[in-house]
Amino acid sequence: MDRATFIKIMGAEAGSFLFSGLEMKAESLRYDLRKIKIYDNYVRGVNFRKNDFLSHTPKINDVLQLEREADNKYDRFAIKVMKDGRFLGYIAAYENITLAMLMDQGVHLEASVSKVADEIDDKKYLDKVFSVQVFAKLLVPFDHLKVNDLGKERADDAEDMYRKGKVIK
């Protein structure tokens, strides 16, 4: 099915359900299926998989696989980060909940390496040595794409407008 047929089938009412938080006139909506970055941050637990990581150190833009691990005894939302069948680490706990729920519903997510540390000392604890970026294909209206600094920064480095202000002790 081509995009035009799909959008005709979806209709304005279905589209307005997807974007119910936006006030838009249904007759003027045009949609596009876009690959949107929904996550970008460091892979955790790499130190526990040093041998696999060091023997197959990922490079920027290397394709990664995400594998749900619902039976993980420490984190029921666990998502493994894999490269060529080798287990390299996890998506960070508490940051993985939405991604896990999407995966559980059958949403296809694409992942790749977004950053690799300039220097990796295998004698030190391996933390924040590489980042994974995750994309989903979403149906979005043409003129209503929001731009934020997550397009350029990992979540740990992006500006956090919710935590600005006075710290209460």
Token pair listed for 50: 């040093």
pLDDT tens sequence across 121-141 = 676 766 777 888 999 988 877
How far apart CA 108 and CA 110 sit, in angstroms, is 7
pLDDT tens sequence across 67-124 = 999 999 999 999 999 998 888 889 989 889 999 999 999 999 999 989 887 776 676 7
- By the 10 Å C-beta count (0-12 exposed, 13-18 middle, 19+ buried), 88 is classed as buried
Structural domains of the chain ordered from first start: 35-139 (3.30.70.2330)
pTM above 0.75, yes or no: no
